[in-house]
Amino acid sequence: MTTTTNAMSVGQQLTQSPVVNQALDAIVAEVRAKSAQITEPRPPIDGLSESYDAFLKRAGATRGRGLLYPYIGSGAGNGALVELMDGSVKWDMICGIGVNFFGHSDPDLTRAALGAGLSDVTNHGNLQSNWGPYQFSETLLELAGRNSNLSQAFISPTGALANENALKVCYQKHAPASRVIAFEDCFMGRTVTMAQIGDSAGARVGIPLSTQVDYMPFFDEIEAETVGIGAYIDASVRKLQQYIDRYPLQHACFIFELIQGEGGFNTAKKDYFRALMECCKANSIAVWDDEIQTFGRTERMFAYEALEVGDLVDVFCVGKMTQVCATLFTEQYAPKPGLLSGTFTGSGSAFDVGNRMLERLRDGDYYGDDGVIAKHRDAFRKQVRAMASKHPEWFPEVTQVPGKPGARDIVGGAGGMMRMTPFGGDKSKVTKACRTCFDEGVVLFYCGHGPYHLRMLPPLGVMKLEDWPRVFECVERGLAKAFG
């Protein structure tokens, strides 16, 4: 058969069809025009609230319990603003726990999702797949490999499954070692195994315990300042070595959350992480970096880049912002055939949108000391301090909990993982503030295990610096209600 440079498969003919592309352009233009009507927070539209209550009850019935937030989106938004089914509009400062970095109704991502809908299948699989998952993996590995030795990827539909696969890789490499080391207050997901590793008693109720976990205290800034950072790091390494000596050759991995998500947006000095990782290396224990919530939100794309420890990472997990999840590993940790598999890897739209998000993160000016994320971090902190100066009664000294990382400051986090600590970190008042802020037009959530914090994972890919005062007008009203 003779081939020419103009030869195209039917699939290529479809994606490059002028008729198809004109139709896609028209749909995107219509989405943009309709979304442009959403310009500021607003209350429910008259006549829609009653039906919205009915939808909330129906949604709760499917779960067997009511929704934590009365949130059901209408399917439309505009950047950092989202519309709910009752017609109300709110600032979305949590973005599905960090998924929607580029906000709502983004034209570029809308087009990517529509284009993926042309595919002959909805979901790709490990056995049969179109090019989308491999293109996504290539882009991710190219970015990850700039400052690490990560060279291979296995795709998963969820973060918990990505973590399960990471654990399997570590177990296989270090068989028969079966113990795991993790930080206190870590969160790993909600599968049977991940619920056992995550440091939450409530998530393990009724689950048989079969995974042996040793918990290391997470970095405590206050204690480190008190005893000196060098002495603190030395003590931490001694603690780790005690576990290793107590169970010789029985630890398969140490799971590192370089920035704890559910645990409170806690982080540490790079020398602290590096010392613990080097101890693992000296004792043939895999270094596993979980950045499922962290990825893309620090002043560098990867937290291991920001903390300069990428050369020590053996296994890595990513998700949320990437739309699909993945387990990455070095060549030395490549699993044997048969260990990792599964029917689905993800939908075509998730891969195409995820790939575009990676490209935009790569090509944009988000990272660096003067990048977009750093500027938003500073703007957030400025707003919190201004509000605390205006309402000092809302921000008493943070209550320290023995055995938990100390938090002197009322504002913290890292990059686009933002937290503030009103009401001394009292759980009941902080969780109440989530509800009152929601009522006043801003969606946020909480994190931590004492002290508790209000957290934000804003859509910094589309949010404007001048939006922050408008967001904090809603936050201020919400905190006033919570305080009263």
Annotate the chain with three-state secondary structure: CCCCCCCCCHHHHHHCCHHHHHHHHHHHHHHHHHHCCCCCCECCCCCCHHHHHHHHHHHHHHHCCCCCCCCCEEEEEEECEEEECCCCEEEECCHHHHCCCCCECCHHHHHHHHHHCCCCCCEEECCCCCCHHHHHHHHHHHHHHHHCCEEEEEEECCHHHHHHHHHHHHHHHCCCCCEEEEECCCCCCCCHHHHHHCCCHHHHCCCCCCCEEEEECCCCHHHHHHHCHHHHHHHHHHHHHHHHHHCCCCEEEEEECCCCCCCCCCCCCHHHHHHHHHHHHHCCCEEEEEECCCCCCCCCCCHHHHCCCHHHCCEEEECHHHCCEEEEEEHHHCCCCCCCCCCEEEEHHHHHHHHHHHHHHHHCCCCCCCCHHHHHHHHHHHHHHHHHHHCHHHCCCCCCCCCCCCCCCCEEEECCEEEECCHHHCHHHHHHHHHHHHHCCEECEEECCCCCEEEECCCCCCCCHHHHHHHHHHHHHHHHHHHC
Provide the mean pLDDT of the chain.
95
- For 465, other C-beta atoms within 10 Å of its C-beta total 11
In the chain, domain spans = 38-98+366-484, 123-363
Q: Encode pLDDT of 171-227 as tens digits.
A: 999 999 999 999 999 999 999 999 999 999 999 999 999 999 999 999 999 899 999
HSE-up of residue 58 (Cα within 13 Å, Cβ side): 7
pLDDT recorded at residue 69: 87
pLDDT recorded at residue 4: 54
Give the global pTM: 0.94
pLDDT recorded at residue 93: 98
* CATH number of the structural domain 38-98+366-484: 3.90.1150.10
pLDDT band at 5 (very low <50, low <70, confident <90, very high): low
Buried b (16+ CB within 10 A) or exposed e, 249-267: ebbbbbbbbbbbbbbbbbb
pLDDT recorded at residue 6: 76
Q: Encode pLDDT of 356-391 as tens digits.
A: 999 999 999 999 999 999 999 999 999 999 999 999
Q: 38-98+366-484 and 123-363: same fold?
A: no
CATH class of 123-363: alpha beta
Q: In the predicted model, what is the mean pLDDT of residues 112-134?
A: 94
pLDDT recorded at residue 1: 46
